[in-house]
Amino acid sequence: MADIIQLLPDHVANQIAAGEVVQRPASVVKELLENAIDADATIIKLIIKDAGKTLVQVIDNGKGMSPTDARLSFERHATSKIKTAEDLFDLHTKGFRGEALASIAAIAHVELKTKQAQEDVGTCIIIEGSNIVSQDVVVTPKGTSISVKNLFFNIPARRNFLKSNAVELRHVIDEFHRVALAHPNISFVMYNNGSETFNLPVSNYRQRIVNIFGNKTNEKLVPVTEETEVLTISGFVGKPEFAKKTRGEQYFFVNNRFIKSAYLNHAVTSAFDGLLKQGTHASYFLNLEVNPQTIDINIHPTKTEIKFDDEHTLYALLRSAVKHSLGQFNIAPVLDFERDPNLDTPYNYSQKETNTPVIEVDRSFNPFKESYSSGKQTTAFKKQTLNNWNSLYVGLESKGTKTQQDFSEVHFESEDKSTSLFDDEQEPVQTTYQLHNKYIVSTIKSGMLVIDQHRAHQRILYEDFLENLTVKGASSQQLLFPHQLHFSPREIDIIKELKEDLEHTGFIFSNVTKEAVEITGVPVSIPESEVTIILEQLISDVENEVPDSNFSITDLLAKSLAKSLAIKTGQSLKSSEQEHLVNSLFACKEPNVSPTNRTTFVTMSVDELDKKFI
């Protein structure tokens, strides 16, 4: 039998490696930004077009590369970061496998310009699908500029799997945030389709967080610091009252590298026990410094997961550090829940001796005697009071007869007695019943109907909002005082995109700035207290669940609002509310499914019930 095993060509092997390293444009952004940081750059610029599908360009002022290094950097497993296998357990840099540039060059058009400080001219290399098109001398500033164009141009199937521009841009911004937060000592600038999105100067860690997420974030942060032989913790956690329904602002950095760890996340969450509302998640920006030899970074293709030698110790230290910070800054309650801080002794009086109060008492006073030391005044007061009472009856004797005649002529109004049309009033018959505050059971001719109240109300609200958005005739209720909400710059951009559609549902925006939104009117069906939650949920839906081009943003908006305002499971309903819900559901165009295509009700015939008792 002939041999069937053969070595893969380099360009095929690179495309396979690209499947692990490059999943979307955000993956390219991450790899190029990390290379710029490893090159000791102090200023890094990121340029994006069409959410990275058309162009991802990173420009840095790092140390650059020689012509030979520039050419070798695109070879597989070519790296300057490690030399032996032991170096994998003592890493102080970002990229170390040597797969990134080779994988990117296999699936895109890449142009590299680089120059070292001591050289007069630099090198320009153009690669298309692992094929080197040209390598020339070029005049370029110190550092490196690498452009990745037409991602997945030679793998159409992979390009078709990319999401819409809004979703891909969100992933790009997420990666940019992760790198920028880990390195506040580096200046970052990001441009999206020609406009400046972020301009982050060199600053401390707190200011970097504020520059990314908005000035309002400053008052939400609680510092966390802890230093031990095993672990050094620094950073911030968000105050419980500012917790969000999404997990957006949760960042762990281990040795200046962003990681995801459900185990460490649980440690932070457990420190917030009893402080968070159900369904909300606290924000945190925590830096962990550990010995590089106690972690293994090389367990995941994107290096976002790390294996720790002693996770239990890290868990305990992290949990106690966060809990201590919350208590230290009076975020967590003290043991004495009834203590009034207004009754605490001021610092100025803590060392002073207390003075015994002196009270003067008239020991000769006796309330049962007519007079005592001031008896004359008491007798005079009694006489004056008696005269006042007697004056009330002056003149009544002479007018007695006339008073009786007046009262005899008084007529009293009597209320009209209303009699019932029928002698026997029948109480209304209840046709619906609520089961476990979750389902509504109703009888029908053929048997029984069971309705999921949450999904049914979603369908009702969805069609109402869709009609309002389409007809553009929703009613609005004016607020007594304007309601101001603060968001990050990225969230403000999303609200600006949805502003016109939101106004059709009944929202009225009086002012929209770079970091805040002022609302003077809301839809009639929305309480003022729910506005913040609804808009946060809407922003999250737009960022995470934007459908393809065959669906409109109007449809997504109606779905998001319906999901936020629908009756929740566990809410008790009156009989009239149950009947109204049932009638409204079957007045919908598609009562069978919720807006997310999930069943709203099931029926069970009498025959099916009879079979249960056989």
Q: Determine the pLDDT at residue 273.
A: 85
Q: Would you list the DSSP string of 191-232?
A: EETTEEEEEE-S--HHHHHHHHH-GGGGGGEEEEEEE-SS-E
Do the Cβ atoms of 372 and 363 come closer than 8 Å? no
Where is the domain boundary, 202, 224, 252?
A: 202
Do the Cβ atoms of 267 and 252 come closer than 8 Å? no
Residue 284 backbone phi and psi in degrees, to 5: -155, 150
Q: Determine the pLDDT at residue 550.
A: 39
Q: Determine the pLDDT at residue 248.
A: 72
Separation between Cα atoms, residue 294 and residue 89, nearest integer Å: 8
SS3 471: helix
pLDDT in tens, 206-257: 999 999 988 888 888 999 999 988 889 999 999 888 888 777 788 999 888 8
379 located within any domain:
no
525 located within any domain:
yes
Same domain assignment for residues 195 and 237: no
Same domain assignment for residues 138 and 36: yes
Residue 73 pLDDT greater than 90, yes or no: no
406 located within any domain:
no
Domain that holds residue 470: 433-603
Question: What's the domain count of the chain?
Answer: 3
Mean pLDDT over 93-112 rounds to 79
Same domain assignment for residues 90 and 77: yes
Q: Determine the pLDDT at residue 58.
A: 93
Helix (H) or strand (E) segment spanning residue 235: strand 232-238
Separation between Cα atoms, residue 60 and residue 105, nearest integer Å: 19
CATH of the domain at 114: 3.30.565.10
Percent of the chain with pLDDT over 70: 78
Same domain assignment for residues 178 and 250: no
Separation between Cα atoms, residue 105 and residue 301, nearest integer Å: 17
Same domain assignment for residues 472 and 572: yes
For residue 211, give the nearest of 229, 186, 246, 193 by alpha carbon.
186
Compute CA distances 428 → 163, 178, 574, whole Å.
Answer: 54, 62, 13
H helix count then E strand count, the chain: 17, 22
Separation between Cα atoms, residue 26 and residue 343, nearest integer Å: 56
Percent of the chain with pLDDT over 90: 19
Question: Nearest-5° angle of CA 575, CA 581, CA 584?
Answer: 140
Same domain assignment for residues 197 and 301: no
Same domain assignment for residues 112 and 244: no
Residue 56 pLDDT greater than 90, yes or no: yes
Q: Would you list the DSSP string of 148-167?
A: EESTTTT-HHHHHT---HHH
Within 10 Å of residue 407's Cβ, how many Cβ atoms? Answer: 8
Q: Determine the pLDDT at residue 172.
A: 92
375 located within any domain:
no
pLDDT in tens, 139-163: 999 999 999 999 888 888 888 888 8
Those residues with Cβ within 8 angstroms of residue 533's Cβ, 6 or more apart along the chain or in another chain: 245, 564
Same domain assignment for residues 29 and 88: yes
pLDDT in tens, 508-554: 888 888 888 888 888 877 777 778 878 887 887 777 654 444 356 67
Where is the domain boundary, 328, 354, 381?
A: 328
373 located within any domain:
no
- Give how far the C-alpha of residue 298 lies from the chain's centroid of Cα atoms, to the nearest Å: 31
Q: What would the two tokens of residue 449 be? A: 């109907």
Q: What is the identity of the amino acid at 142?
A: K
Where is the domain boundary, 146, 167, 202?
A: 202
pLDDT in tens, 371-430: 544 445 555 555 566 666 666 666 665 554 554 555 556 566 656 655 555 555 555 566
Do the Cβ atoms of 517 and 547 come closer than 8 Å? no
CATH of the domain at 477: 3.30.1370.100
Same domain assignment for residues 196 and 263: no
Max distance between CA atoms of the chain, in angstroms, equals: 141
Separation between Cα atoms, residue 393 and residue 328, nearest integer Å: 72
349 located within any domain:
no
Q: Alpha-carbon Rg of the chain, whole angstroms?
A: 37
Q: Determine the pLDDT at residue 530.
A: 78
pLDDT in tens, 254-285: 888 888 888 888 999 999 888 888 778 889 99
Using the CB atoms, write b or e for 308-347: b if 16+ within 10 Å: beeeeebbebbbebbbebbeeeebbeeeeeeeeeeeeeee
Same domain assignment for residues 112 and 157: yes
Do the Cβ atoms of 176 and 56 come closer than 8 Å? no
More reliable by pLDDT, 537 or 573: 573
Same domain assignment for residues 211 and 198: no
Same domain assignment for residues 135 and 222: no
Mean pLDDT over 170-197 rounds to 91
Compute CA distances 454 → 394, 462, 586, whole Å.
Answer: 74, 12, 15
CATH of the domain at 314: 3.30.230.10
Do the Cβ atoms of 590 and 459 come closer than 8 Å? yes
Q: What would the two tokens of residue 432 be? A: 């619906």
